[in-house]
């Protein structure tokens, strides 16, 4: 693989990682109904054999080797300083924190709506998660198809992620709620994949490992922090109000992205001859 394929490779890697987080629970939900929880745990353990086998097939002679960065005690602090000096990376992490903490708690959103609103069981819950995975796969493939991940796409994905939650909150029945989940899954995947790609491709090689460690800490650590809050809202005010928390996370992230575009990319909108005209500086987030 050459440098010209790097962007697509990063997108495919991110897509597979994030798609697995959404598709896995869907498969697990269906299998729990069919064979029981204990067997699903055993199947999950056995699945690691495929991972180990795949790693054994790596053609190490074709890897692009780089000099290893010297380790030092201040490495993590240097990573935070690097991110803080980059307005684009800072904006992405704040957007990711909001969406990851309050928007990606899909197990809570779907289960409380399925049980509390639509009075469904485990099978219907698993089906809803599978329906959402349709959007996730579509978002992953579309993200991998794009040549360069961009901040403008992050802003759009965050806003439409919030819109998806609004539609989900007002849907009157089970199947309409499932359609809204497709929208949420597609734009959740678009956002996370694009954020991963921008972070990797716009970071200096010697800082990439530290920056991505911070990225993963925010991406994976946010949802457990937000789960008690989302659960409390669902229990106290109802599942539909819990979905409003997800919508607020998407719109809040979109506002952060919009602020970055206005302040650092000089986004301007004006009407010319009765038509809306949009202009901004060139995107420099991807190298």
Average pLDDT, the chain: 84
What are the residue boundaries of the structural domains of the chain, listed by start? 3-59+79-279
Architecture of the domain delimited by 3-59+79-279: Up-down Bundle (1.20)
pLDDT digits (tens, 9 = 90+) for 177-226: 999 999 999 999 889 888 988 888 888 888 888 898 999 999 888 889 99
3-state SS record for 31-65: HHHHHCHHHHHHHHHHHHHHHHHHHHCCCHHHCCC
Kindly report the pTM of this predicted structure. Answer: 0.82
Residue 268 · residue 280 · CB < 8 Å: yes
Region of 282 (left: φ > 0; alpha: ψ -120 to 50; beta: rest) is beta
Sign of CA dihedral 182, 184, 190, 193: negative
Mind listing the pLDDT tens digit for each residue in 113-127?
Answer: 999 999 887 778 878
109 C-beta neighbours (distance < 10 Å), count = 25
């Amino acid at each position: 693989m050459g440098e010209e394929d790097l962007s697509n490779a990063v997108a495919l890697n991110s897509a597979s990682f994030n798609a697995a987080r959404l598709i896995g629970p869907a498969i697990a939900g269906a299998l729990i109904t069919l064979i029981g929880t204990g067997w699903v745990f055993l199947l999950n353990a056995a699945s690691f054999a495929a991972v180990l086998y795949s790693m054994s097939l790596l053609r190490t002679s074709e890897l692009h080797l780089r000099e290893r960065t010297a380790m030092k005690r201040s490495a993590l602090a240097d990573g935070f300083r690097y991110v803080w000096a980059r307005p684009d990376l800072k904006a992405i992490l704040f957007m990711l924190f909001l969406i990851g903490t309050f928007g990606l708690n899909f197990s809570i959103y779907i289960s409380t709506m399925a049980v509390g609103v639509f009075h469904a069981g485990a099978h219907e819950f698993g089906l809803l998660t599978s329906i959402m995975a349709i959007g996730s796969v579509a978002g992953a493939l579309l993200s991998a198809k794009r040549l360069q991940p961009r901040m403008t796409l992050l802003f759009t994905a965050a806003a439409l992620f919030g819109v998806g939650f609004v539609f989900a909150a007002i849907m009157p029945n089970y199947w309409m709620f499932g359609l809204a989940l497709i929208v949420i899954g597609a734009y959740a995947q678009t956002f996370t994949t694009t954020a991963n790609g921008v972070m990797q491709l716009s970071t200096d090689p010697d800082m990439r490992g530290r920056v991505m460690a911070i990225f993963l800490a925010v991406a994976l650590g946010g949802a457990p922090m937000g789960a008690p809050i989302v659960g409390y809202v669902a229990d106290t005010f109802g599942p539909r109000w819990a979905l409003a928390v997800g919508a607020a996370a998407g719109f809040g992230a979109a506002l952060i992205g919009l602020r970055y575009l206005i302040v650092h990319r000089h986004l301007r909108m004006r009407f010319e001859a009765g038509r809306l005209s949009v202009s901004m500086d060139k995107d420099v987030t991807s190298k």
